[in-house]
Amino acid sequence: NQVPGIKLNNGTLMPQLGYGVWQVPDDEAERAVGTALEAGYRSVDTAAIYGNEKGTGKALANSGVPREELFVTTKLWNGPSQRWGRDEVLRAFDDSLDKLALDYVDLYLIHWPRPMRDDVLAIWKTFEEIAASGRAKAVGVSNFRPADLERLGEASALVPAVNQIELHPLFPQSELRAVNARLGITTEAWSPLGQGKELLTLPAVASVAARHGRSAAQVVLRWHLQSGHVVIPKSVTPARIRENLDVFGFELDAEDMAALDALGSGPSAHRIGPDPAVFD
Ligand code: NAD
């Protein structure tokens, strides 16, 4: 397996490239995750709200890959407008482990900060307890802004291992990446391919791709890897699942990187997903 590991702040290694399963229905997840594991992926990113932890768990169990070679991430969905406390969090975590049929996950994330609710400190305290129990090897957050990260310090000295955020050449989040780096938090990119939409059709991307005889998706994934992000591209198409992993046999040069970096301040730059400041 040629995927490099990134060392998280708790000392564990996370594969720099993994497989994301958002929008994969539970009854397709077993086949899709199975295809990814067969292709050589060892890291899988799911979430309670994706509704496919069962199918994902079946694929993990049937893969024959030893548990210690897998890196499984799931996320807490502190569902609709309600203040979450310790009991709700522990129940949700147990439920995820049950569905995945695992006795631990490698990474457990708070899915959204929901700053309007004021329950993040109680949730983070409980995450610390889950980490101490060994049932999550690492704990972290997703969609946290600098202010949300700062608040966690009021609950505990534990620094999130990972902040999983929307990140791709059209939404490069330079400031947030710098804050993550300063705090020792690994940046993980969600929707790394810009959800396969406009980003993959841009002439700047096509020209870098043509220069390397690679696909648009492959050069965008190289941009992430060479920028130091963890990436979790999603596809249910076997050929694309394999293509997205086949990104370790070439390298972008400084000029290619600069061409892709420039997209972030160009006319097409935009966020695709919800804004964490208001998402509830
Ligand atoms: P993505 O950027 O990975 O794009 C996926 C889409 O791109 C596919 O559905 C397909 O249409 C296209 N695609 C994939 N491979 C391709 C290829 N080789 N060539 C051409 N087109 C290709 O989008 P995503 O699924 O939103 O993000 C990846 C993962 O990130 C998710 O599956 C999920 O695990 C995670 N995620 C997390 C959050 C969060 O809030 N934490 C939000 C969104 C996504």
- Using alpha carbons, select from 161, 152, 155, 145 the residue that is nearest to residue 105: 161
Q: From the CA of 131, how far away is ligand 1's center (Å)?
A: 28
Residue 167, pLDDT above cutoff 70: yes
Pairing type for strands 186-190 and 5-7 reads unpaired
- Of these residues, 41, 50, 104, 108, which one is catalytic? 50
Dist. CA 52–CA 252, nearest whole Å: 35
Which protein residue's CA is at the shortest distance from atom 21 of ligand 1?
196
DSSP H helices, 168-202, are: 174-183
Map 31-88 to HEC letters: HHHHHHHHHCCCEEECCHHHCCHHHHHHHHHHCCCCHHHCEEEEEECCCCCCCCCHHH
pLDDT at site 1? 67
Dist. CA 19–CA 219, nearest whole Å: 17
pLDDT at site 131? 98
How high does pLDDT run on average in the chain? Answer: 97
pLDDT digits (tens, 9 = 90+) for 53-86: 999 999 999 999 999 999 999 999 987 768 899 9
Q: From the CA of 23, how far away is ligand 1's center (Å)?
A: 9
Is 50 catalytic? The answer is yes
- DSSP label at 161? S
Token pair for 195: 């959800």
pLDDT digits (tens, 9 = 90+) for 10-68: 999 999 999 999 999 999 999 999 999 999 999 999 999 999 999 999 999 999 999 99
In a domain? residue 269: no
Dist. CA 37–CA 40, nearest whole Å: 5
Number of separate domains in the chain:
1
In a domain? residue 252: no
pTM for this one?
A: 0.98
User: 69: domain CATH number?
Assistant: 3.20.20.100
Ligand 1 site residues, Cβ closer than 6 angstroms: 20-22, 45, 111, 142-143, 164, 190-196, 200, 215, 217, 232-235, 240, 243-244, 273
In a domain? residue 137: yes
Token pair for 266: 């160009």
In a domain? residue 251: no
Q: From the CA of 113, how far away is ligand 1's center (Å)?
A: 21
Among 60-64, 117-121, 152-156, 165-169, which stretch is predicted with the lowest mean pLDDT?
A: 152-156
DSSP H helices, the chain, are: 26-39, 53-62, 86-100, 120-133, 146-152, 174-183, 203-212, 216-227, 238-245, 254-261
In a domain? residue 255: no
Q: From the CA of 62, how far away is ligand 1's center (Å)?
A: 24
In a domain? residue 256: no
Residue 161: which domain range?
5-193+228-235
In a domain? residue 52: yes
The residue behind tokens 């919800």 is 274
In a domain? residue 246: no
